[in-house]
Amino acid sequence: MTQRAHKKRSRAGKRWVAKVTTDSTHPPAGLFNQSATTIAKTLASKKVSPKGPGSGMRMLTYFINRAGRGLSATRRHELERAKRLLSARVKHEREKRKAA
């Protein structure tokens, strides 16, 4: 396989997220353009994530992966901050379930 053909194939492999079509939950329009605390709070809510904050974490990760290089550095930083806040929420929920 030539080097050029190899690059094409590996690049196509990186774009798996573009092929995903899901119709499970729908966060409010424009949510990912807001502050990290608003994103984390909304994605942890039962209305958006009926299965809990873990589901919201997967939505946020999916959005970041889908946006790819198109995200500005400041937006990516804010989304990563929301991810950390949501991760803490998930951890808290797990500890709460263990204690019960």
At 63-95, the pLDDT tens digits run 998 888 899 999 999 999 999 999 999 898 888
Phi, psi of 54 (to 5 degrees): -60, -35
Cβ–Cβ under 8 Å, residues 48 and 56: yes
At 14-62, the pLDDT tens digits run 666 667 666 556 788 899 999 999 999 999 998 888 888 888 899 899 8
Report the distance separating Cα 27 and Cα 14, nearest Å: 25
Both tokens of 33, joined, read 């353009």
What global pTM score does this model have?
0.72
Domain boundaries, the chain: 35-100
